[in-house]
C-alpha cells in the first residue's frame, strides 16, 4: 500500500467533504466557503499539484482550523519533500481535538509521520545563558512544543547570540543526513565587568600602566601613572617663604649699600675712619641688591599663587598668597591663607 494510492485519496476526500459541511458556517473574511476551498484542495491533490493543494488547505485551516485540515497540510508537505513542515502539521493533527481524526485517519497520519521522522534531524539544544537567542541559518530558530529543533537535509549553521556576553556570538555547523536525534549545547560566557577607576585615574585591579609588569594599551605606549599633586602645594608654599626671606635679605643688603654710597658721597666714611670703596663698586652692589629683591619678591608672589591654586580647600576658602614690598629700612611681607 502506498501513500499516494487511490485508496488514501478516497479516504481524504471523504473525510474532508464531511468536514466541509460542518465548517461552512464558520467561514469568514472572504466570500469563498470552506467547503469550496477543501473541494479545490482535494482536486489539486488528486492532480498531483501539491503546492496548490497545500495553499488551499492552509486557507481552509485559517478559516476553520481542525485536526483534519492539519492532516491535509501535512500530507501535501510530505509530497513536496518539506519534511519539517510535514512533521509539524501531522504531529499537530494527532493532538488537535477540533474535529479529531478518525481511527483510520489517525493510523495513516502516524505512519506518514514515522516516515517523515526518517528525513529530518531532531536536536535538543541547550543554551547558556538562558536569555541568549538561537538562530538557524541567520533566522530565529523555531522550536517545537517539546523544545526540539527540527532540521531538514543538508548543512545548517546554528548561532547563539548574547549582547552581554564575550564573545557576543558563537556558531556551530550541523550536517543533517536524516533520522538524527542528538543533544547540542551552545554556551557563551558573560562579559567581564569593567572595574571602577582608582584614585590615580587608572583602572583598578587590571595591573596595567604601573610597574614593570604593566600592560600596554592598543596604541603601543605603556600607561604612565598620573603625577601626584598631593604634596605640591607644600613645596610651593616653602618656595614662597624662602623667596620672601631671600627678598628681605637682599633688601637689607640694598639698604646697607645705599647707606655706604651716601657716606662715600658725603665724605663721612673717611671722617669716621672707615674704608670707602670706589663709588662704582658700591653702585654695582646696590643694583645687584635691587635686582635680587625684585626677583625674589616676584618669585615669592608667583610661588604663593601656585601654592594657593594647588592647596586643597573648599570653594568658600581663600587661596593662600604671599606678597613682599621693600622699603627704605625694611622689607614688608604679608601672608594670607
| pLDDT digits 0-9 by tens, 324-333 | 655 555 556 6
pLDDT at residue 3 tops 50:
no
Q: What is the value of pTM for the model shown?
A: 0.49
- Confidence grade of residue 294 (pLDDT, cut at 50, 70, 90): confident
Closest by Cα among 47, 40, 36 to 79: 47
Task: Answer with the residue of higher pLDDT: 18 or 303.
Answer: 303
According to the CATH classification, is domain 6-117 in 2.60.34.10? no
| Lookup: cell for 192 | 567581564
Q: Would you state the pLDDT for residue 28?
A: 42
pLDDT at residue 20 tops 50:
no
Quick count: other Cβ atoms within 10 Å of Cβ 325? 13
Arithmetic mean of pLDDT, 44-65 = 95
Which range (3-17, 89-103, 152-166) has the least confidence? 3-17
Q: Would you state the pLDDT for residue 146?
A: 85
Arithmetic mean of pLDDT, 42-63 = 95
Task: Answer with the residue of higher pLDDT: 202 or 75.
Answer: 75
Which range (94-98, 211-215, 239-243) has the least confidence? 211-215
42 secondary structure, DSSP code = H
| Lookup: cell for 180 | 538524527
Q: Would you state the pLDDT for residue 208?
A: 46
Task: Answer with the residue of higher pLDDT: 228 or 294.
Answer: 294
CA distance 250 to 258: 12
Query: What is the CATH topology of the domain spanning 121-187?
Result: Immunoglobulin-like (2.60.40)
Percent of the chain scoring above 90 in pLDDT: 41
Task: Answer with the residue of higher pLDDT: 197 or 164.
Answer: 164
Count how many Cα atoms sit within 13 Å of the Cα of residue 29 in the half-sphere of its side chain: 7
List the domain boundaries for the chain: 6-117, 121-187, 232-336
Average pLDDT, the chain: 76
Considering all CA atoms of the chain, what is the largest pairwise distance in Å, rounded to the nearest integer?
154
Q: Would you state the pLDDT for residue 255?
A: 77
CA distance 283 to 293: 15
11 secondary structure, DSSP code = H
pLDDT digits (tens, 9 = 90+) for 192-203: 877 766 656 555
Q: Would you state the pLDDT for residue 118?
A: 94
User: Beta-strand (E) ranges in the chain?
Assistant: 121-128, 133-136, 139-140, 148-151, 154-161, 169-176, 181-187, 321-326, 331-336
Closest by Cα among 246, 245, 238, 228 to 304: 238
Amino acid at each position: 500500500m502506498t501513500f499516494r494510492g487511490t485508496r488514501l485519496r478516497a479516504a481524504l476526500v471523504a473525510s474532508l467533504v464531511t468536514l466541509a459541511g460542518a465548517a461552512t458556517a464558520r467561514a469568514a473574511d472572504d466570500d469563498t466557503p470552506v467547503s469550496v476551498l477543501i473541494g479545490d484542495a482535494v482536486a489539486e491533490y488528486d492532480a498531483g499539484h501539491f503546492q496548490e493543494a497545500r495553499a488551499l488547505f492552509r486557507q481552509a485551516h485559517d478559516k476553520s482550523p481542525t485536526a483534519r485540515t492539519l492532516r491535509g497540510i501535512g500530507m501535501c508537505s510530505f509530497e513536496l519533500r518539506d519534511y519539517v513542515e510535514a512533521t509539524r502539521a501531522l504531529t499537530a493533527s494527532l493532538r488537535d481535538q477540533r474535529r479529531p481524526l478518525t481511527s483510520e485517519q489517525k493510523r495513516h497520519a502516524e505512519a506518514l509521520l514515522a516516515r517523515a521522522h526518517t528525513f529530518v534531524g531532531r536536536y535538543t539544544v541547550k543554551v547558556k545563558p538562558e536569555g541568549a537567542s538561537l538562530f538557524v541559518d541567520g533566522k530565529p530558530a523555531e522550536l517545537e512544543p517539546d523544545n526540539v529543533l527540527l532540521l531538514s537535509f543538508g548543512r545548517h549553521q546554528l548561532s547563539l547570540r548574547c549582547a552581554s556576553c564575550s564573545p557576543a556570538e558563537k556558531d556551530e555547523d550541523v550536517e543533517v543526513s536524516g533520522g538524527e536525534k542528538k543533544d547540542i549545547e551552545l554556551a557563551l560566557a558573560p562579559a567581564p565587568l569593567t572595574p571602577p577607576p582608582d584614585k590615580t585615574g587608572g583602572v583598578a585591579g587590571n595591573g596595567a600602566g604601573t610597574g614593570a609588569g604593566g600592560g600596554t594599551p592598543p596604541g603601543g605606549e605603556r600607561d604612565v601613572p598620573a603625577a601626584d599633586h598631593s604634596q605640591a602645594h607644600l613645596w610651593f608654599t616653602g618656595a614662597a617663604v624662602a623667596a620672601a626671606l631671600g627678598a628681605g635679605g637682599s633688601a637689607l643688603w640694598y639698604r646697607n649699600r645705599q647707606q655706604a654710597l651716601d657716606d662715600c658721597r658725603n665724605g663721612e666714611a673717611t671722617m669716621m675712619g672707615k674704608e670707602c670703596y670706589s663709588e662704582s663698586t658700591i653702585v654695582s652692589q646696590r643694583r645687584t641688591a635691587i635686582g635680587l629683591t625684585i626677583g625674589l619678591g616676584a618669585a615669592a608672589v608667583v610661588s604663593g599663587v601656585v601654592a594657593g591654586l594647588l592647596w586643597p580647600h573648599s570653594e568658600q576658602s581663600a587661596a593662600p598668597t604671599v606678597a613682599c614690598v621693600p622699603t627704605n629700612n625694611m622689607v614688608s611681607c604679608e601672608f594670607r591663607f
